[in-house]
Amino acid sequence: MAGGLFLNHELSKLFNQLWDADVNRFRPGREYTISLQGRAGFIPQGSHMARDNAAQPLFLQVDEERLQGTKTFAAFISLLDNYETATGEPEVVTAEEEAENHRFLDAILDTAVMKLTHQYLVGKNWARPSVKDFKAQLYHIWFQLYPREGHRGPDSCGFEHVFVGETRRGQEVLGFHNWVQFYLQEKRGNVDYKGYVARQSKTRPDSEDQVLSLQFGWKGLVKPVGSTFIGVSPEFEFAVYTVAFLQSGEKVSRVLVRVEEYELLLVVYRHGRHIGSAYPVLISSDNEDLY
């Protein structure tokens, strides 16, 4: 139990099935290598200054050939430059960008991860049996634009917030919970990794951990804490966040699950009928006694 929440055994079983089915997941130390370096420092609220406790980038190497050569990753990467990241700036979706959204959904729906997810959701009456209908449902949840925080025009969507990242009034970083975006932005010199954020039950994470909390700079701003999966495929993240979103009508859903050796809290914010935000928080892992 964490924070008054009890382990959800049913979703733990499903997410372990998805984890095992995620053949596109990158393996730590083999297809990517990270360097955690120093522990992130405290940042006062409203401050953009942070001590840099990581002289090197987070990602030391990533198998670029596999990243670009895997259908779902390649389709995912094509979406990352489709958005105005500042909230309040209206989004205009071109025909080409809409086609890229559909190509991405087609790619992930062809994976075992999303087929298992669809099967589970149909069994719960949270999705229709038709793959076409399920794709439309995913499009609405993730790609339908909406106004964030009272802005007049549609300036955001679940995909942009969770996977690309946003900035608000030039003062803070919102979302940005994806490792591929982090790696690519870091490679281009746009992200400055500041250090890891330790969780309550463990003073130092393991470079093999595939869920981490990080501190980093982006677009001249600092995100004090950003939690993310590391190495997993886009379809895996879409699957677990979609299930967590659909299993609760609450504005904020918190689901405690155990996936492999990781005890995770999945946090999903609802924006009406769309995802507002989603991210994992690592509570504990079986190899803690090593560190």
Q: Which residues are catalytic?
A: 161, 177, 223
Give the type of residue at 3. Answer: G
- In this structure, the number of other CB atoms found within 10 A of the CB of residue 152 comes to 8
Q: How far apart are the first and last CA of the chain?
A: 22
Instruction: With beta carbons less than 8 A apart as the criterion, state whether 139 and 273 touch.
Output: no
Q: Which residues pair with 254 in a beta bridge?
A: 267
Go through 22-50 and write b for each residue having 16 or more CB atoms within 10 A of its CB, e for each that does not: bebbbebeeebebebbebbeebeeeeeeb
Using CA atoms, how far apart are residues 174 and 167, in angstroms rounded to an integer? Answer: 6
Using CA atoms, how far apart are residues 42 and 291, in angstroms rounded to an integer? Answer: 22
Interaxial angle between packed helices 9-21 and 234-246, expressed in degrees from 0 to 180 and rounded to the nearest 10: 160
Q: Which residues pair with 266 in a beta bridge?
A: 255, 280
